[in-house]
Amino acid sequence: MRILMVDDDQKLCDVLKRGLVEEAYAVDCVHNGEDGEYYAESSPYDLIILDIMLPKQNGIDVCRNLRRKKIKTPILMLTAKDTVEDRVKGLDTGADDYLVKPFAFSELLARVRALLRRDASSKTAELKAGDLVLNTVTRQVTWQQNQLDLTTKEYAILEYLMRNPGAVITRGMIEEHAWNYDFDSISNLVDVYIRRIRQKIHPEQGKNIIRTIRGTGYRLVA
């Protein structure tokens, strides 16, 4: 899953980015409202973490502009303002959730997971495709009840495929959701990671679970 973080506190951004990357999210950070709006319009993010007090353009205006442009990406607002009026204003402009600074990283993670589940067909923490089970809270993945030892990036790619079972997922779509803005799309890393994931699921059956769609990408089947 790919997250855009818009906050002018670069130290906070660096800390949160490291934590989110360790949880298998791809993260882009920008530090003013104009860049935040531009990035949100230019790339398909799964979630936007947006501060209100920003240089060049505040978070309220960024949120309002994105919603006017029909960008429906979930928005989690971070702010030091904690009055009821401030929270209501943020939510009324189109934000999906509101978190007041300072906050515990564990609470941020829980809210991120909840927002990413909001539009999913299943509201539980578990994603299932036949005997393949992925828990988005514990990040444990099992195949026929045997736990798989996946790297952070392997987990991120598999989670994306499992959130879209049966759909044809192109290599470009995987790149956009599992890597950040700086990823070199010329490389064949996606194919390399898919081969590793298949092997870890099962040396023989892995190809039947994640199937190659020639010339296009991949499809996960139950």
Residue-wise pLDDT tens digits, 8-25: 999 999 999 999 998 889
For range 76-94, the mean pLDDT: 79
Q: How confident is the model at residue 1 (pLDDT cuts 50, 70, 90)?
A: confident
Taking the CA atoms of the chain, what radius of gyration do you get in angstroms? Answer: 18
**Total number of domains in the chain:** 2
Return the pLDDT at 36: 95
Claim to verify: residue 193 and residue 137 sit in the same structural domain: yes
Claim to verify: residue 85 and residue 176 sit in the same structural domain: no
For range 65-72, the mean pLDDT: 93
Q: What are the CA-CA distances from residue 124 to residues 30, 119, 128, 163 (Å)?
A: 31, 12, 10, 12
pLDDT exceeds cutoff 60 at 122: no
Which residue(s) pair with 212 in the sheet? 218
pLDDT exceeds cutoff 70 at 184: no
Claim to verify: residue 92 and residue 190 sit in the same structural domain: no
Return the pLDDT at 119: 65
Q: Which of 60, 91, 117 is the last residue in one of the domains?
A: 117
Residue-wise pLDDT tens digits, 99-121: 988 899 999 999 998 898 876 55
Nearest-angstrom CA–CA distance, 90 and 147: 42
Return the pLDDT at 124: 66
Query: What distance lies between CA 180 and its chain's CA centroid?
Result: 10
Q: How confident is the model at residue 183 (pLDDT cuts 50, 70, 90)?
A: low
pLDDT exceeds cutoff 70 at 207: yes
Claim to verify: residue 82 and residue 102 sit in the same structural domain: yes
Claim to verify: residue 139 and residue 176 sit in the same structural domain: yes
Q: What's the mean pLDDT when you consider all of the chain? A: 88
CATH code of the domain in which 190 resides: 1.10.10.10
Q: Which of 117, 135, 168 is the last residue in one of the domains?
A: 117
Range of the domain at 86: 2-117
Q: How confident is the model at residue 179 (pLDDT cuts 50, 70, 90)?
A: confident
Bridge-based pairing of strands 2-6 and 47-51 is parallel
Q: Which of 91, 117, 143 is the last residue in one of the domains?
A: 117
